[in-house]
Structure formats: structure tokens, C-alpha cells
């Protein structure tokens, strides 16, 4: 797909950013959030899997727009970083919540306007119970489902009718034509320190295999990059 090949013009930011924040995951955030979710100032935004390479940016873009933003992640360390470094208003560790519906009601007493979902499964089912009228769910992935023999059933879709919710699936491949707009928006924010980014960098090809294995046990913090050589 030639549209996804491009020459990097801006080398004043770390090159590795182009594998994450400024690459496919970042573009996914950007296009998904602005094109599908139609965010408005003051809206309530949930980012599930907020610490993933796709999830990191969207919460910060939503904050920059004046939204109230809550993220979920799977460790205390990541929750802390979401709030302290990325400026999320609230964050919760979904592994420690016995009742996801109750966790969402605690974080969103007014309900959710936009859910940027990368998880699916039980999280999506709880989300459906907490969406507001005319709210939007952008589905960029369903990581809770990929390794199951049979996907979990989603039982609360009737909320779609009662609350006129829109769910839309999304892949970045439809939006590469927006890549220049994306860089125009995000590069200045990075240079001004308004958007933070956390990635895990392994040095040298010999450390690649262990970095790969680490992804599947959740050892990485943010996008896992392997630096083959530094010029």
C-alpha cells in the first residue's frame, strides 16, 4: 500500500515516535477521534486501553479540546502516569474493579459522550450501559477478544436504540490522506510540550526477541520500539 509509505521530514523529534505517536497508532487516534467521534468541548470521554500506543494520544487530544477524560489501564504505574503525565482527569485500573459498570458510574456520574474503545468484551458491555443520548463509540480494536476461542457475547446492544448510540469500526488505512494534517496538528503540540509520549525502547537488535516477548506479558510501558542503530 504505497499511501502508507512516506519519507520522514521532521527529525527534530525522536525517530522512534514515527512507529507510535507519529505513525499508524497516532494517525488512528487522530482520524478516529476527529472524523468519527465529532468531539465537542465539555463532553465526557472514556479511553479504554488508554495506555496503549493508540490510546495515549486520544486522551490528550480530548483534553486539549476541553473534554473531561477518563482512561482505563491495567496497572497502578500506568494509571498514575495517565493522570500525572498525560493529564487525564481520572483513570482506573480495570483489573482491580470487580464491577466495571459501577466503576464507570463512579467516573462518569453524568454518563459518557464518547468512548474510544480498543478492548471490547466486558468493557464494551459495561460502556453500553453508561453511554448518554446521541453518544458515539469508536471501535479501533477488541484486544480482549483476540485470543479467545469464542468471542464474549455483548448483551447490552439494546442501549443503542434507547439512547440512539452510534458504534463505528475503524482502521487507519482509510485515512492516510489526512497524514499531513495530522502532523501539522500534533508536531507543534509535541514541540511545545503539550502532548507527552511514553515509549519503551530496547537498544540493539539482539534485545528485539525479549522485547517482543515482553509485549505479551504487559512488560512494556507504551509502544515497544527496538533501536537497531543510532546514526
Binding residue for a second copy, selected from 13, 15, 65, 154, defined by CB under 8 A = 154
Q: Site residues for a second copy, window 61-120 (CB under 8 A)?
A: 120
Q: 124, 139, 120, 118: which is closest to 51 by C-alpha?
A: 118
Binding residue for a second copy, selected from 65, 160, 196, 221, defined by CB under 8 A = 160
Q: At closest approach, how far in Å is the CB of 146 from a second copy?
A: 8
The stretch among 156-164, 176-184, 192-200, 216-224 that binds a second copy (CB under 8 A) is 156-164
What is the DSSP secondary structure assignment for residue 152, as one 8-state letter? P
Cβ–Cβ under 8 Å, residues 115 and 135: yes
- Does position 58 bind a second copy by CB under 8 A? no
d(CA 205, CA 203): 7
- Does position 159 bind a second copy by CB under 8 A? yes
The stretch among 45-53, 56-64, 73-81, 133-141 that binds a second copy (CB under 8 A) is 133-141
Q: 66, 56, 69: which is closest to 17 by C-alpha?
A: 56
d(CA 91, CA 47): 9
Binding residue for a second copy, selected from 38, 95, 99, 169, defined by CB under 8 A = 169
Measured from the CB atom, the residue of 103 and 139 that comes closer to a second copy is 139
Measured from the CB atom, the residue of 169 and 209 that comes closer to a second copy is 169
Binding residue for a second copy, selected from 13, 75, 163, 207, defined by CB under 8 A = 163
Cell 466495571 appears where? 100
DSSP string, 44-85: EEEETTTTSTTHHHHHHHHHHTT-EEEEEESSHHHHHHHHHT
- The binding site for a second copy (CB under 8 A) comprises 120, 124, 139-142, 145, 150-171, 174
Amino acid at each position: 500500500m504505497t499511501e502508507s509509505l512516506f519519507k520522514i521530514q521532521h527529525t527534530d523529534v525522536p525517530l522512534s515516535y514515527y512507529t507510535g505517536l507519529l505513525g499508524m497508532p497516532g494517525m488512528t487516534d487522530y482520524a478516529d477521534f476527529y472524523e468519527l467521534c465529532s468531539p465537542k468541548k465539555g463532553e465526557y470521554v472514556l479511553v479504554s486501553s488508554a495506555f496503549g500506543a493508540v490510546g495515549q494520544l486520544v486522551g490528550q487530544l480530548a483534553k486539549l479540546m476541553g473534554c473531561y477524560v477518563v482512561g482505563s489501564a491495567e496497572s497502578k504505574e500506568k494509571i498514575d502516569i495517565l493522570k500525572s503525565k498525560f493529564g487525564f482527569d481520572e483513570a482506573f485500573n480495570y483489573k482491580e474493579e470487580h464491577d466495571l459498570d459501577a466503576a464507570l458510574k463512579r467516573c462518569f456520574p453524568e454518563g459518557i459522550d464518547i468512548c474510544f474503545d480498543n478492548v471490547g468484551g466486558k468493557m464494551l458491555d459495561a460502556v453500553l450501559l453508561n453511554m448518554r443520548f446521541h453518544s458515539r463509540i469508536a471501535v479501533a480494536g477488541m484486544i480482549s477478544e483476540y485470543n479467545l476461542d469464542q468471542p464474549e457475547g455483548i448483551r447490552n446492544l439494546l442501549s443503542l436504540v434507547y439512547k440512539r448510540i452510534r458504534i463505528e469500526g475503524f482502521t487507519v488505512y482509510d485515512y492516510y490522506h489526512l497524514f499531513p494534517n495530522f502532523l501539522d496538528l500534533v508536531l507543534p503540540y509535541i514541540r511545545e510540550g503539550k502532548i507527552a509520549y511514553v515509549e519503551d525502547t530496547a537498544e540493539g537488535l539482539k534485545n528485539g526477541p525479549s522485547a517482543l516477548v515482553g509485549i505479551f506479558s504487559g512488560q512494556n510501558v507504551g509502544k515497544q520500539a527496538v533501536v537497531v542503530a543510532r546514526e
